[in-house]
Structure 1
């Protein structure tokens, strides 16, 4: 991890020091976009090939709706790049976006480990960033004034799952997490919430050697009276851990964060995910008109039920179009100001109001449980 952290910092320093003065970059973009005609260019960075999960389809659906009427007399054109969930690729893409003064804003990335360092590149270049998936608290804690997260952060997600665990009367919980920006942040938030609710974290770890090692760990957890496991992981590693945990002989309930909210979880875990409860931020059965219109249009277009990331892709672009129209200009400073002042904008995944840090503050968190090999909504 130390070597990886040094590599990330080194890459980021090279990018930032290779740029012109930040004020010059921001002013150039501001001047260019104040006079720009034609298509409004929006960069999108995402692991499209390997971890798309409906995100591109959500974007395309929103793009079609937006461009029927246009925005500020123009159409939006997406500049899509695949970051492969790689910090190196993500920062390379971020720098290419930063170097293009005709780019109005960026949507991305999927993984917090990529988005957190990339956000600094965008901020340096004056680019507003809409982050629809990265939940690490560090993304908006860095004092960047043009970052807007359209998903609850790990602090809220972790506390919600701790509250759920407390309501189920789990008292002694083990935590397994992925040792990166996402996993550490979510594990910390859950542990803090569990402690505040009077629960005890009996163990916390991020790795095991093999199935025999996990059997030893499971036996220890049994002796310590473990009555639930909180999993701060992403797919597909989360599914593999749950499958191994059941093979190791531990049958206590497993609950997890939004990184496990994937339709692939039940099948990937080979039945071991049955009964699992995970956090999400989108309910296709929500009663509000915006959600139902989105679901109907998505199913009609793609013959599939939309998931969380399809809704997030759709909302991110629709929100950006709304802000452009309300700002009345492509200038990033005014666009960012309009986004910061957004109150109660209704998207497919819920209301969007941003706090001073750029975090969405009123989006509901949904709980889902695996039953009969598929997800069912608990609220």
Structure 2
């Protein structure tokens, strides 16, 4: 009995020792789990332009430039202040209407955007800029009216040169190059059209021209026969139109129908493939300015043209390179400041000095206007826009 008990005790001791050994092995520290990847922060950028209606082609091309820039930025796995981020575009259709523009602006602010790309038209950009300014959200608009940055908001910046320069160049060109001394002017009563026409008139008068007629229409009009009949009697050398291609196309046709010999002139909104389509053979001889260099002369124009065509399967028209640059500038300011909070990156945006597609150096003055810009003058010859001259500030 004693031996059996002793055997049982020994067996129990061995079992306990073995169990103890297993327990010690099980309690060894486990390998540390890999650290979780940092959460990607969504950074919302707003966009607004006419995406429906007769000016939709402007807005959609502008939007394409923004999309291309955001896709490129996201492909690079961007970080802001060490935090991985993904840029997200929130787009709205302002229909080129000032009332809709302000409604859209408030909607975008409520959606918690931290930066604004747009609006396109001066007429929508000017009233909307107050809403972004009150929310402290930086805005880079395509607007060319001097009034856009004239309100003194620290949040407003411009993607293209303004109408003061463009109107001045065209006024001098009409008098000094075209030798026009009798000039008629029509505008569409939008902030853009009227503002450009006003600057053209100042410059033409200063160069020695007589303004023999000043008429106006609307940005919805297509029948200009009464206006043009009145202008015909004044025998102008040039008819300058401040407005969009949807009106300029029919206007060019009606000028020819009435036998008016004057050349039609306008700003960048008529320098489009759409104008050529609407005007047909009556487009030949039309002269237009563009607030920037020809695509082929832009520092990054060739590469941009290739990327744009590959992404959207269409040609660059007018505005997308400027929208692309505006987007990249906004993103660069956030990275430089290490923050996507508007109040923190706004000072970095104001101090921007960077190379872009459209310019070797993009930078802003105290108003938010571009420091360096160019104006190119084009003429329709054989149904195509051809460069006549390019000038810089």
TM-score by length of 1: 0.84
Which residues of 2 match residues 126-275 of structure 1 at below 5 A? 126-131=136-141, 133-165=142-174, 166-207=176-217, 213-214=226-227, 216-222=229-235, 226-275=236-285
Corresponding residue for residue 67 of structure 1: 74
Q: 1:219 to 1:308 in 2, by over 3 A?
A: closer
1:333 CA drift (Å): 2.2
Could you tell me how far apart the structure 1 residues matched to 2:74 and 2:378 are? 34
Bigger RCO (CA 8 Å, 6+ sep): 1
Could you tell me how far apart the structure 1 residues matched to 2:229 and 2:73 are? 55
Aligned: 1:49 with 2:62 = no
Comparing 209-218 and 255-264, the one that deviates more: 209-218
Tell me the alpha carbon deviations over residues 95-153 of structure 1, each in whole angstroms, 9 at most, x when there is no partner. 112234x321111111111111010011011111110x211111111111100011111
Which one of the candidate residues 283, 295, 301 is aligned to 1:284?
A: 295
Secondary structure class of the residue paired with 2:167: helix
1:195 CA drift (Å): 1.6
Q: 1:140 to 1:59 in 2, by over 3 A?
A: same
Could you tell me how far apart the structure 1 residues matched to 2:318 and 2:243 are? 17
Could you tell me how far apart the structure 1 residues matched to 2:321 and 2:89 are? 17
1:261 CA drift (Å): 2.0
Could you tell me how far apart the structure 2 residues matched to 1:291 and 1:211 are? 37
Tell me the alpha carbon deviations over residues 157-206 of structure 1, each in whole angstroms, 9 at most, x when there is no partner. 10111122122221221111111211221111011111221222111111
Could you tell me how far apart the structure 2 residues matched to 1:183 and 1:340 are? 28
Q: Give the conservation status (yes or no) of the 8 Å contact 2:68–2:324.
A: yes
Secondary structure class of the residue paired with 2:314: coil
Could you tell me how far apart the structure 1 residues matched to 2:79 and 2:88 are? 11
Corresponding residue for residue 21 of structure 1: none
Q: Give the conservation status (yes or no) of the 8 Å contact 1:214–1:245.
A: no
1:377 CA drift (Å): 2.1
Q: Give the conservation status (yes or no) of the 8 Å contact 2:222–2:250.
A: no
TM-score by length of 2: 0.81
Q: 1:203 to 1:140 in 2, by over 3 A?
A: same
Secondary structure class of the residue paired with 2:166: helix
Q: Give the conservation status (yes or no) of the 8 Å contact 2:241–2:265.
A: yes
Could you tell me how far apart the structure 2 residues matched to 1:186 and 1:302 are? 31
Q: Give the conservation status (yes or no) of the 8 Å contact 1:218–1:249.
A: no
Secondary structure class of the residue paired with 1:272: helix
Q: Computing the radius of gyration over CA atoms, which structure comes out larger, 1 or 2?
A: 2
Could you tell me how far apart the structure 1 residues matched to 2:118 and 2:164 are? 20
Q: Give the conservation status (yes or no) of the 8 Å contact 1:283–1:349.
A: no
1:330 CA drift (Å): 1.2
Q: Give the conservation status (yes or no) of the 8 Å contact 2:308–2:315.
A: yes
Corresponding residue for residue 362 of structure 1: 372
Corresponding residue for residue 29 of structure 1: none
Q: Give the conservation status (yes or no) of the 8 Å contact 1:176–1:204.
A: yes
1:218 CA drift (Å): 3.5
Secondary structure class of the residue paired with 2:240: strand
Q: Give the conservation status (yes or no) of the 8 Å contact 1:349–1:363.
A: no
Could you tell me how far apart the structure 1 residues matched to 2:97 and 2:243 are? 17
Corresponding residue for residue 14 of structure 1: none
Q: Give the conservation status (yes or no) of the 8 Å contact 1:214–1:248.
A: no
1:212 CA drift (Å): 5.1
Structure 2, unmatched stretches of 5+, are 1-38
1:287 CA drift (Å): 5.7
Which one of the candidate residues 69, 85, 98 is aligned to 1:87?
A: 98
Structure 1, unmatched stretches of 5+, are 1-35
CA RMSD of aligned residues (A): 2.0
1:49 CA drift (Å): 3.2
